[in-house]
Chain A
């Protein structure tokens, strides 16, 4: 349930990214680079350098699922780092709930108190545009992430959902040798995230005529995904690979319950999924929306405030793990609940966190 709420909230955000000018095909996330422009025609911005320390505020909308809580905790942990602390005069994180007018009020309050930058996870991709204009007029930098906004007055930071779907599909093609039956566990029908990821997968699978796909909707939810996967297995088809958008813990459990060997699975980044992969050793690729996007956005904001040239729209690195790279306590956590979001670190950007570091933070 928590997971579904989270992805639905992401869905709106990514939809917003798409509005942002139907930005060509996203640039390939260059290996080993942290801040990558979203597309080849993304404009670069550069501000007059200011010297710190800066007042930074995080304006969050919905709070109350694991992902959002972790996101706020990571932001706080990041601002307390030795190398970041001297740059920050004050850091304030507030959540307004999924209500546009409340978030407008919250941002107005931040403008009044004269912050240097607002880090924003928006309740609506468009509803905050006018208050962002006001912030821009007041010389305040707005960096929007996760559920991003459409106005180009704000800098956006997000992961590319098409690229994510493509990497999953490439993995499945690689592990199955480009032939066989592939089970596609889709998300919530009609959402932008689901469409983008599936479009990418079909683009890849379309090039391999010997791959036969079966599509089911798991609603990004462990329970639903387990049920529909069990139904698909009961039909007797032998699946050689699984491309799954979420609810992956349930997908694996369905294979287990049917008494089958777990095939190669490409999926999201739930703790339960990675726990099972480390236990059962099936080939796995796990990529997910990182809660550390908040820390990355603060990093981008500090860069811009200090006069560094930065893309107006940043394609965040996709934090991924495979069965071989799983390391207990680093990218999966046997002692934490299945719903915990594992990609708490973005190593390319030097954003490494431990579970203890973030869990001790108060929200």
Chain B
């Protein structure tokens, strides 16, 4: 039963295992406390961004403003954090609040403005990037050393970033997704009309999903700030499309209603680590992005090869 539930994540897991195996062969030092910490830190930001994206994708939408919210959180955190533990705590809350606010605007426009999610979030992408630039016109700012080391350090072989990721996934996202709201999110994504007929408040569910997405994107921004220890209003750009890629690779369906957190998280690590593996393998800079895309396509094709043999499209849909 549990296995069936996570079947969609299988492709990403197999992909990541193969990739790590090859990386280990190229760079044996990766199996060391330092190497583990690097690997964990490298994937965590995108994993959090992918969780944000997944929450929205489950409703049948897509959030193009994820990268902008990451940049905005990074700009806020690095600009206002200061040195004292209280100001750090305050600014972390402020950043999460900003993320929630950004998600709320997205959600309200989608649910009550009745505008296509892709257009709403494309527009807010520009708005939030603009705010990020207003807060931090030039790269700079700083965060205290203990903030960075608490999130990106390690205790022996155990990187703190993995704990952060686990806590956010298990203690924040999972309880929500297992609650009535979570069920409603899946239902709305699968069949909005049916959900409405079953008495689910569709607009309110949509708004909630976008707010959760915004908070998770802000978490990604906060982690990225610990990683770079500074602010840059354009730093999040790449997370928008990479988070969509991670979600799809992780087995969720862009039409909504299907997908679990495990797949996108693993896929996020795959996508983040692939760059390092290509460096380690000595692939020329010009070919790196070609390889990156080609590997993704190949893996997805192998993963879905069985659907080509299926005689009836219903079998595919039912899976």
Contacts and interface: CB of A to CB of B under 8 A. Distances in A.
The judgment on whether A and B are partners is yes
Contacts of B140: 19, 125-126, 150
A219 to B, nearest CB: 19
A288 to B, nearest CB: 24
A214 interface: no
Contacts of A49: none
A214 to B, nearest CB: 28
Contact of B279 (A109, A124, A129, A150): A109
Interface in A106-159: 106, 108-109, 112-113, 124-130, 133, 150
Contacts of B224: 101
Contacts of A109: 27, 276, 279-280
Contacts of B286: 63, 95, 363
Nearest to B136: A126
B110 to A, nearest CB: 28
A15 B275 contact: no
B232 A126 contact: yes
A223 to B, nearest CB: 26
A113 B27 contact: yes
Contacts, number: 98
A112 B230 contact: no
Interface in A1-42: 12, 15-16, 19
A37 to B, nearest CB: 24
A19 B138 CA distance: 10
B35 interface: yes
B228 A108 contact: no
Contacts of B228: 100, 104, 124, 126-130
Given A112-B30, A112-B38, A124-B139, A129 B276 contact: no
B42 interface: yes
B247 interface: no
B227 A130 contact: yes
A129 B227 contact: no
B229 A130 contact: yes
B307 interface: no
Given A129-B228, A129-B229, A105 B272 contact: yes
Contacts of B9: none
A352 B169 CA distance: 57
A99 interface: yes
Interface of B: 27, 29-30, 34-35, 38, 42, 45-46, 138-141, 148, 152, 224, 227-232, 235, 237-238, 272-273, 275-276, 279-280, 282, 284-286, 289
8 closest Cβ pairs, A-B complex: A126-B230, A95-B285, A130-B229, A127-B228, A109-B279, A126-B139, A105-B276, A108-B38
Interface of A: 12, 15-16, 19, 60, 63, 92-97, 99-102, 104-106, 108-109, 112-113, 124-130, 133, 150, 192, 362-363
13 contacts: A93-B285, A95-B286, A99-B237, A101-B42, A105-B279, A124-B235, A125-B139, A127-B235, A130-B148, A130-B230, A133-B229, A150-B140, A150-B230
